[in-house]
Amino acid sequence: MLVISLFLAFASIFAVTLLYFTQNPFLEAFEAKTYDLRFKALRGPLTPHADIAIIAIDDKSIAELGRFPWTRTEYAHLIDRLSDAGAKAVLFDAFFPEHESAQADLAFASAARRAGNVVLATSFRFDPAFNVTGQLHSIREIEDSVSSLGHINFLPENDGTNRRSMLLIRDGDKLTPSLGLAGAMAALGEKEFAAGDFDIAVGTRHIPVSGNYSMWINFTGAPGVYPHYSFVDVLRGRIAPGLLRGKVLFVGATAMGIYDMRVTPFDGNTPGVEVHATIADNIISGRFVRQTGLEALFDIVAIIVLGAMAYFLTTRLRLYTALPVTVLLSIAYIWLSYALFLQGHWVSMIYPPIAAFSALLVGESFRFLVLERSARKMRAIFSSYLSDKLVARLELNPEIAKLGGDSKEVTVLFTDISGFTSYSEAHTPQEVVARLNEYFGAMVQVVERFDGTVDKFIGDGIMIYWGAPLAQPDHAQLALACICAMREKMNELRAKWADEGVELLYIRGGLQSGDVVAGNVGFEGKKMEYTVIGDTVNQAARFESSAKYYGVGFLVGEATYAKTSSFYRYRELDRIRVVGKHLPVRIYEPAGFSPDMDGATVDEFNAALHCYRERKWPEALERFIALSARLPEDKPCRIYIERCEFFIKKPPGDDWDGVYNRREK
């Protein structure tokens, strides 16, 4: 037993070392979070460089100057103001790819040429292999007038957080600097840079970078850490020139309505222009975060030493004593890694403690770990997708879930909020986000109660599915029960909003069942997520948008109807051919959502619909008019009245099949 324990303990150390070398995505995600932790919870903000400031396209400027984007003559006046004030450089986190007018374009170009220190943004497009496929430029007249260009491409990690910046992007033989690097070069008075394999030289400064010229960003603080001067205040001369003299000024959007927001370790809504300013600050100040071969060597030594020390404890102490000692050992190492971080070295906080605990636990209880390893892996991967009940099933039977692409029969639901675009235009961004968060929170709780998986939020919409990654034989019934509960919860929210005197919102959705491909989809190393794709998903999305046309809350496809018609009462609304499909499908409304839609009413509607499809237009018209008199708010009745009146005047050809072709998605 001792020999096996020793072998497995050191095998675990070797395994952690191997995981470190292969950059296991799961562990790397945790390591990335410790990078965020070091900034926000441990170190806190730094004093920003005094020569950097931001000209903010903020809500105040929009309120005074009108709807954004503004005419280029405003930018020209801004450049003149900044030039007169003695700004060292003006960097626009924006480009102007289309002509406005000859006068406006010329005004901008002339102002930039007079200033001689304007840097304009550009952006690159990439293919899935991260090769450059194109570049977005400003119009030639403006681009030729500026001193240089800086790209504004971001490099978010798998979790969407921006921790690195591509200081250079290679397109053929040309290297284009980032806007932040261009700002640093302007501040340092340097015109050239030299790109090496693992550093970029700007004058006497050597910037540590990885193979693709990416630099770890040493974030200075939360949004607002740099001085912000409102665009309109500078334009109107309300800012003292002395505050702008000798400064490197980044011009960019901070208004929530424009939404040029990025996720950073300090905040999930950081204006992109502040990230560019931070990159320039790092280079000017020489405050870099290094993760080079020296740091990697330190990590490997730490993995081996901590793992060996933890295993040694198992040979001298009982597990209940060795465990807290190992915890203290790991805490001491984490403190050391943080102290090194303050000196500009990013060493791992995750891998060495993992080596310590794995050696400890494997050395004493390897059998337990072997039996539970698969269950822990399933929980780690799927806990953010599934309800606790389904994750528990995965732990008991981890082999029933495949992480690769797999065919599944599921039910997919798309929902959105009726009239939300108008609501957004009439309310502040803060009010919109607060209302959305309240709505999403309530709906997600309902979905979890019915064992659904929330795939993603799409604006004010939600994509939900049942039947993956775990098979759920009753997925269609669960989906129908869920939309009933969602409707009830929405009624509760509307009652609450009515008491608060705020505008009421309504939910609508589309539901369809069928086969999909389920698995991890995305760009490995950049952005991956478990999701479902296929025609069933597309149809559910089309049904959600069609619900607005028919004036109903939810539309259900015939595949879902076939699986649930013995449990729920429906009325058939139409046979439609959605965009991109040749074969028509039947759509249904869950009749139980309306108190007026009893069994007799559904039968009357179906009888009228039968007459319509039999080309008995006068009889169908009479029946729908009678129904509409009893159901004045029922839009399907009104739709069929219009269709009947049209066909009475202009009967269709003999090839008419009763199908309505939806022209909109």
Query: Tell me: the pLDDT tens digits for 15-68?
Result: 888 888 888 888 888 888 888 888 888 888 999 999 999 999 999 999 999 888
Cβ pair 154, 178 in contact under 8 A? no
Cβ pair 575, 586 in contact under 8 A? yes
Q: Which residue in the block uniquely carries the two structure tokens 């999701």? A: 531
> Is residue 118 over pLDDT 90?
yes
Percent of the chain topping pLDDT 90: 45
> Is residue 202 over pLDDT 80?
yes
Per-residue pLDDT tens over the stretch 145-169:
999 999 999 988 888 899 899 999 9
Least Cα distance to 379 among 22, 33, 26 occurs for: 26
Q: Between vectors from CA 652 to CA 646 and to CA 656, what angle results, nearest 5°?
A: 125
**Helices H / strands E in the chain, number of each:** 21, 26
Least Cα distance to 525 among 95, 130, 75, 181 occurs for: 130
pLDDT at 364: 66
Per-residue pLDDT band at 367 (split at 50, 70, 90) = very low
Least Cα distance to 76 among 200, 194, 221, 251 occurs for: 251
Helix 272-285 vs helix 179-188: crossing angle, to nearest 10: 40
Q: Which two tokens stand for residue 368?
A: 């337990």
pLDDT at 371: 43
Per-residue pLDDT tens over the stretch 602-652:
889 989 999 999 999 899 999 999 999 888 888 999 999 999 999 999 988
pLDDT at 81: 93
Q: Which residue in the block uniquely carries the two structure tokens 């090496």? A: 196
Q: Is 219 exposed, middle or buried (CB count within 10 Å of its CB: 0-12, 13-18, 19+)? A: buried
Cβ pair 652, 659 in contact under 8 A? no
Cβ pair 345, 295 in contact under 8 A? yes
Cβ-based neighbour number of residue 255 at 10 Å: 20
pLDDT at 307: 86
> Is residue 398 over pLDDT 90?
no
Q: How far apart are CA 75 and CA 94, in angstroms?
A: 11
Q: How far apart are CA 442 and CA 457, in angstroms?
A: 14
Please state whether 628 falls in left (phi above 0), alpha (psi between -120 and 50) or beta.
Answer: alpha
Q: Write out the CATH class of domain 405-591.
A: alpha beta
The domain spans of the chain are: 2-41+291-382, 47-285, 405-591, 594-665
Cβ pair 483, 511 in contact under 8 A? yes
Helix (H) or strand (E) holding 571: strand 570-577
Question: What is the mean pLDDT of the segment spanning 396-416?
Answer: 74
pLDDT at 580: 64
Mean pLDDT, the chain, integer: 86
